[in-house]
Structure 1
């Protein structure tokens, strides 16, 4: 059953602006359970509140206190790896029409409108890690 039909049944109305957004629920994941890993929420909390210093917002996530997945990945790598090197980090706000990520068409300017991420605080955190030689920045974007 797809999500739109569930929503239509519950509310009687399909939400506007969902064209291309809602996807059918996956019935099969092309991996065996032994190949699956679940990210411990601790890494998200540590990246957000201890490393970057984002606001707690009474324990609620959102409004500028959700770290990007890249920063969460770096946090997790710092716990598990002897050396951490990153590539492609460092949102270039001087090039607003550049792609935000290599795998999509969203532009760099979109990150300015993000209500969930605090990019300036994240960049400050990543720069500290590079300066302290805790991580290496292979592409010099940070």
Structure 2
């Protein structure tokens, strides 16, 4: 009887090993799927979650609408619509004269290649240290719209951050990048205006006038080789939404207690009003107790440098986590 049992086991060994191998493959695939939540391959182009972003954004943003243009333009913003209620950065009240001159030499349209998309799949690339050695570059470049921030470099970091740039949001103090080498030829350079001096700087640069040197917390570049046809002026409406709806900041703050959204959170807000799918990468700061961890993937500065800023990064982290919980955005790196 034992001999017969041994023979039966020997005959079944191949089947048992086959079943075991199949089980191990299924376990591996399950683990791989778990990991791929953070480093996904671009989803099938035939599927598009049309309407999902609008539906979920309405749960988070009061009076959510996509009726406001992304960029300021002479005709629609000043000559037809109601004048702005707020001063910069939440409106243009008091800065109309210089802004009109600036809008006369810049553009406001979106490239036809983006306008004609049936589904706009967007990724907002933050500047965080989490992108270093992430090998996310190839994945980032698969999106239809890649939004980058400030002076974050691309050249030399392509493996981690990709090489495609559809829009780059910046303000004068963060314009220390070469517009032609760190962007694609068709990249939109989107000015985020925080104060009237920002309009004056941009006008002086594009018209080659006497440079504005005062009124900045950091000296902006005096020479900036940008094509005016690629420059856009962001509608302050999106700064207002970011501050009032996501961070619950008052539009009028005491001079000594001023807080403003970061360009990163602003870029996510913009994407939520423009895209059919929104993913983010490279967002999040080190723990406040970690004084030595660098905050950017490209330079050696720490969280200490944020101490004097007008940004509340903890408050913004809560807002982004809420978006993640709602499934409004998806994170490609850990947060």
TM-score, normalisation: structure 2: 0.33
Distance between the aligned counterparts of 1:98 and 1:124, measured in 2?
21
Could you say if the C-alpha distance between residues 102 and 128 of structure 1 is closer, same or farther in structure 2, counting changes exceeding 3 Å?
Answer: same
Distance between the aligned counterparts of 1:116 and 1:54, measured in 2?
12
1:63 maps onto 2:260 in alignment: no
Decide whether the 8 Å contact of 1:63 with 1:115 is kept in 2: no
Deviation at 1:3, TM superposition (A): 6.5
Name the larger-Rg structure.
2
Q: 1:80 aligns with which of 263, 270, 274?
A: 274
Report the counterpart of residue 231 of structure 2 in structure 1: 36
Report the counterpart of residue 110 of structure 1 in structure 2: 305
Q: 1:25 aligns with which of 206, 222, 235?
A: 222
Q: 2:313 aligns with which of 119, 122, 132?
A: 119
Structure 2: unaligned runs, 5 residues or longer: 1-209
Structure 1: unaligned runs, 5 residues or longer: 7-17
Deviation at 1:64, TM superposition (A): 4.9
Counting matched residue pairs gives 124
Q: 1:91 aligns with which of 275, 282, 285?
A: 285
Decide whether the 8 Å contact of 1:98 with 1:108 is kept in 2: yes
TM-score, normalisation: structure 1: 0.72
Report the counterpart of residue 14 of structure 1 in structure 2: none
Q: Secondary structure, in 3 states, of the residue corresponding to 1:126?
A: helix
Runs of 4+ in 1 over 4 A off after TM superposition: 1-4, 59-62
Distance between the aligned counterparts of 1:24 and 1:122, measured in 2?
29
Q: Indicate the structure with greater strand content.
A: 2
Report the counterpart of residue 11 of structure 1 in structure 2: none
Report the counterpart of residue 53 of structure 1 in structure 2: 248
Moved more, 36-45 or 101-110: 101-110
Q: Secondary structure, in 3 states, of the residue corresponding to 1:128?
A: helix
Q: Secondary structure, in 3 states, of the residue corresponding to 2:233?
A: coil
Moved more, 132-141 or 115-124: 115-124
CA RMSD of aligned residues (A): 2.8
Q: Secondary structure, in 3 states, of the residue corresponding to 1:84?
A: strand
Deviation at 1:62, TM superposition (A): 7.2
Deviation at 1:55, TM superposition (A): 3.6
Distance between the aligned counterparts of 1:105 and 1:74, measured in 2?
25
